[in-house]
Structure 1
Amino acid sequence: MKHNLSIQKLSIKAIVGILAIAWLFITIVPFIFMLLAGFKQQFEMLMGSVFDLPKGLYLKNFIDVFKGNIFIYFKNSVLVLIVSLAILLFLSACASYPLARFKFKLNKPIYAIIVACMSVPVHVTLLPIFLMTTKIGLYDSPWALIGPYVAFNLPISVFILVTFMQAIPRELEEAAEIDGCNKYKIFFNVMLPLVKPGLATLAIYNGVAIWNEFSFALVLTQTLKNRTLPLAIWEYQGQYTMNVPMIMSVLTISMLPMIIAFIFGQDKLIKGMMAGAVKG
């Protein structure tokens, strides 16, 4: 019997390992293809097979990208990302705390409305947000993107954080109240430190979405000095339609910040996902 169980465990581990290797292959091959294509010359890409290795490290594509306006797009993306995430995480935590820990009549209706907002299509709101942004004078500025980014990522963030906070033992709050802490001190000194895995997960999840967002950036900005990286890719694609290696080099440069952030934050992301799964 024990022998059969050990064989089953080994079989499951082998299957999981094979699936993990297959998924790694599926996800890493496009990036490797994109990176290698960026080192090719234009006609080398057109005349040979797209899967051929580059004949040499042709760096001119990356040099031309850096000589262009990529740093303007990059600066705007970083600014929008940092400000949006700071506001989003703070509002999510502030909204999740009373919904998860307090009992009041409108608790469930408010929570249901927030969850329902997750189903609102982004494109339905483009025109109203454009008109509102124009009226308040924020059109064609990076600040115009922060409001929509926070608003559309807030429901899913609250939904996830409420789950984290509901699983925290109430004895911790009671002990803090005995020590003389009010609700504000309990929130900042007890709840926030305990939901750091959830906040880290949300930061990476929402960060990738904000970094790659295209629709609002296209509609709410117009001039080059106010546009973000996704629009840089779009403009390079229009300018260098036939120069595929140049487009691949832009894509590689735009992806690198998120890849680096994931490498350094993957442990926190995995811990947060595991904690949420266990608590759920």
Structure 2
Amino acid sequence: MKKKKITIGKIIAGILAIVWLFVTGAPFYFMVASAFKEQFELFTSGVFAMPKGFYLDNLKEVIESNFPSYLLNSLTVVAISLVLILITASFASYPFSRFKFKLNKPLFAVVVAAMAVPIHVTLLPVFQLTQKIGLYDSIAALIGPYVAFNLPISVFILTSFMAEIPNELEESAEIDGCGKFRTFFNIILPLSKPGLATLAIYNSVNMWNEFSFALVLTQSPKSRTLPLSIWEYQGQYQANIPLIMAVLTFSAIPMIIAFAIGQDKLIKGMMAGAVKG
């Protein structure tokens, strides 16, 4: 009876997994297939029909447009912002997770409260500040908001991760003469690599797809990022859907590569702390 229950459970889990694969895979298939269709082929054939002929002019037109500039801007902004987030979150999470002081809980409560601040409430103040300091319409204008709005959740997650590291390791390091800084760099930080990898992928996806700040803080094509690139292919009365799908396909490739490289560390980071040992 127990074996039957386990078998039925596995069958149900398999069916649900297949259904979820179709739910998540159908939009991706539509995006890639549409990128190889002519402009009006979407209306003459089925939405999920295979392309009649692999029409490569869409991909060629995207590559020859301003897309490489948008791609470079996104890579630059995400890379700089991500490095700043991981460094700042690491230094902030260490005292929150390992030190006992009076302001620990109040300060951590402020960090948690900052996670609830909606982005749209800050658009006007950030826009005015960016204009006053002369960063408007530049990719540098995006770095500050990206770091500020992704830092609270990064500190929250990394603090929980570092808190699960056994205290015995830190105590042994202190007995051997290691100070706090050396303990942090030689023990805590290396053991936090799965958590840092999780944050890297999570924040990269958020910043890669971010639209609101990119729309408000940039104006000219030289400063736009990938989420704004689809404007190139929208006319006054219609949009070139296959070209937009080609742009989205190219935009998704870097994130797919990043996930494929770091998926093992991502899974370890997500599972960290689930079982104490």
Report TM bin, short chain.
over 0.9
Q: Which residue of 1 aligns with 2:179?
A: 182
Is 1:78 matched up with 2:79? no
**In structure 2, distance between residues paired with 1:274 and 1:56:** 44
Is 1:172 matched up with 2:181? no
**In structure 1, distance between residues paired with 2:229 and 2:68:** 10
Q: Which residue of 2 aligns with 1:34?
A: 31
The answer for unaligned runs of 5 or more in structure 1 is: none
Instruction: Describe the SS at the equivalent of 1:42.
Output: coil
What is the TM-score with the length of structure 2 in the denominator?
0.96
**In structure 1, distance between residues paired with 2:275 and 2:80:** 31
Aligned 8 A contact 2:71 2:225 in 1: yes
- Report matched runs for 1:11-30 at 5 Å: 11-30=8-27
Q: Choose from 145, 155, 176 the match for 1:148.
A: 145
**In structure 2, distance between residues paired with 1:137 and 1:264:** 38
Deviation at 1:233, TM superposition (A): 1.9
The answer for unaligned runs of 5 or more in structure 2 is: none
- Report matched runs for 1:24-103 at 5 Å: 24-103=21-100
**In structure 2, distance between residues paired with 1:235 and 1:202:** 32
Q: Which residue of 1 aligns with 2:241?
A: 244
Deviation at 1:19, TM superposition (A): 1.2
Q: Which residue of 2 aligns with 1:258?
A: 255
CA deviation vs aligned residue, 1:217-250 (integer Å, no higher than 9, x gap): 1111111111100010234234793421111111
Aligned 8 A contact 2:32 2:245 in 1: yes
Aligned 8 A contact 2:197 2:266 in 1: yes
Q: Which amino acid is the alignment partner of residue 176 of structure 1?
A: A
Output the aligned Cα RMSD.
1.5
Is 1:126 matched up with 2:123? yes
Aligned 8 A contact 1:198 1:276 in 2: no
Deviation at 1:29, TM superposition (A): 1.1
Q: Choose from 212, 221, 224 the match for 1:224.
A: 221
Is 1:205 matched up with 2:202? yes
Instruction: Describe the SS at the equivalent of 1:103.
Output: coil
TM superposition outliers: structure 1 runs of 4+ over 6 Å:
none
**Which has the higher mean CA deviation after the structures are superposed, 149-158 or 239-248?**
239-248
Structure 1 residues 185, 28: closer, same or farther in 2, change over 3 A?
same
Instruction: Give identity over the alignment, percent.
Output: 64
**In structure 2, distance between residues paired with 1:233 and 1:190:** 45
Aligned 8 A contact 1:240 1:247 in 2: no
Q: Which residue of 2 aligns with 1:275?
A: 272
**In structure 1, distance between residues paired with 2:110 and 2:128:** 25
Aligned 8 A contact 1:40 1:245 in 2: yes
**In structure 2, distance between residues paired with 1:255 and 1:240:** 27
**In structure 2, distance between residues paired with 1:276 and 1:16:** 24
CA deviation vs aligned residue, 1:74-113 (integer Å, no higher than 9, x gap): 0000000110000001111111100000000011011111
Is 1:117 matched up with 2:110? no
Instruction: Describe the SS at the equivalent of 1:119.
Output: coil
